[in-house]
Amino acid sequence: MEFTAFEGQNEIEFFERFTDNDTCLAYLYEQKWKHGFVCPKCGCTEEGKTSLAFHKRCKKCKHATSATANTLFHKSKMGLQKAFVMMFRMSATTKSVSAEQLAKNVGVNRKTSLAFQHKVRVAMESSKDYPMEGNVEVDEAFIGQQEEGNVGRGAVEKAQIVVAVEKNGGIGVKRVYAQVIENASTEQLKKIFDDHISPDAKVLTDKWKGYSPLAEHYNITQEKSEPDKNFLVMHRIIQQLKSWIRGIHHSVNKDFLQGYLDEFCYRINRSITKDSIFNNLVLRMIKHQPIFINQIKFGYIY
């Protein structure tokens, strides 16, 4: 059996590669231990003999561990092939897919689909290890239904987010990160700077007073936002985000929103390396600790 990493966005090739649960397990087995075995119980790196398929056994403590153990696939009951299909369509497709549609595609109920989607979004969360260093625009936006009589920062019923975009040339996008914030205070805005922006980056914001104190630690230039004249890349990204949520998910509860932002940014940030995006997601699912059903409330982690 071939164990090269799957590449591409072709669904026919995907289904030819992952024909059943065993081919998916074999893929996990290879990817999980491609750099060598480490016993999760005692830390030993020597393998013992085992007759269990897709398992490793520690030579020292005799502990046996499967390809799915201690990963986000741990004790999943819907079948690994269905999980792989859901991951492929959430990552390799241009706009992802709703929980309802995925449930129909793979033959599970909506609750199972929604719960697994949120596990995938946990894996899609940024590592925060590679801060933006180039030309960066930062702005806030509101996501959700319009509150009658209020617009902009006065629309308190809408979820507020802050977005950072690292530009690639004049109109191109290199990376995007977005976070849910409680308000547009300096304290809240500072989080995306600390998590995703290097002090060496050249940051452009609007004239909002919440950014001014951050200039003490970051290279910030503030200018008045003028439609169709500046912040063109930022406004395009925010519009794409809003259109994606309306078109695919229709609306998103504020409690769920960060996961959707992580998914949106994950796909954009890997648009150049789209061929390897599925395998990258598999590796992230393998590295993350399990999330169990009693940790999921209404399809989200609490």
Residues 97 and 200 in one domain: no
In tens, the pLDDT along 127-140 reads 999 999 999 999 99
Q: Radius of gyration of the chain from Cα atoms?
A: 22
Residues 80 and 60 in one domain: yes
- Look at 107 and 111; give whichever has higher pLDDT: 107
Residues 61 and 144 in one domain: no
> Is 191 part of a structural domain of the chain?
yes
Beta-carbon neighbour count of residue 260 at 10 Å? 24
Residues 16 and 104 in one domain: yes
Cβ-contact 163, 143 below 8 angstroms: no
Residue 73 has pLDDT above 80, yes or no: yes
Residues 164 and 117 in one domain: no
Residues 15 and 120 in one domain: yes
Nearest to 301 by CA among 133, 172, 122: 122
Q: Tell me how far apart the alpha carbons of residues 47 and 9 are, in angstroms, rounded to a whole number.
A: 36
> Is 269 part of a structural domain of the chain?
no
Residues 145 and 239 in one domain: yes
**How many domains are contained in the chain?**
2
- Pairing outcome for strands 202-205 and 219-222: parallel
Beta-carbon neighbour count of residue 34 at 10 Å? 10
In tens, the pLDDT along 177-196 reads 999 999 999 999 999 999 99
The pLDDT assigned to 287 comes to: 96
Cβ-contact 278, 181 below 8 angstroms: no
148 — pLDDT class (breaks 50, 70, 90): very low
Residue 79 has pLDDT above 90, yes or no: yes
> Is 56 part of a structural domain of the chain?
yes
Residues 180 and 107 in one domain: no
> Is 268 part of a structural domain of the chain?
no
Residue 146 has pLDDT above 50, yes or no: no
The DSSP bridge partners found for residue 65 are 56
The pLDDT assigned to 188 comes to: 98
> Is 16 part of a structural domain of the chain?
yes
Assign residue 198 the CATH number of its domain: 3.30.420
DSSP-based three-state secondary structure for 108:
coil
Residue 282 has pLDDT above 60, yes or no: yes
145 — pLDDT class (breaks 50, 70, 90): low
The pLDDT assigned to 157 comes to: 62
Task: State mean pLDDT over 157-161.
Answer: 86
> Is 270 part of a structural domain of the chain?
no
Provide the token pair at 263: 């998914």
Residues 62 and 145 in one domain: no
> Is 4 part of a structural domain of the chain?
no
Residue 155 has pLDDT above 60, yes or no: no
Q: Tell me how far apart the alpha carbons of residues 230 and 204 are, in angstroms, rounded to a whole number.
A: 10
48 — pLDDT class (breaks 50, 70, 90): very high
DSSP-based three-state secondary structure for 48:
strand
> Is 266 part of a structural domain of the chain?
no
289 — pLDDT class (breaks 50, 70, 90): very high
Residues 121 and 139 in one domain: no
Q: Which range of residues forms the domain containing residue 112?
A: 11-126+276-301
Residues 93 and 21 in one domain: yes
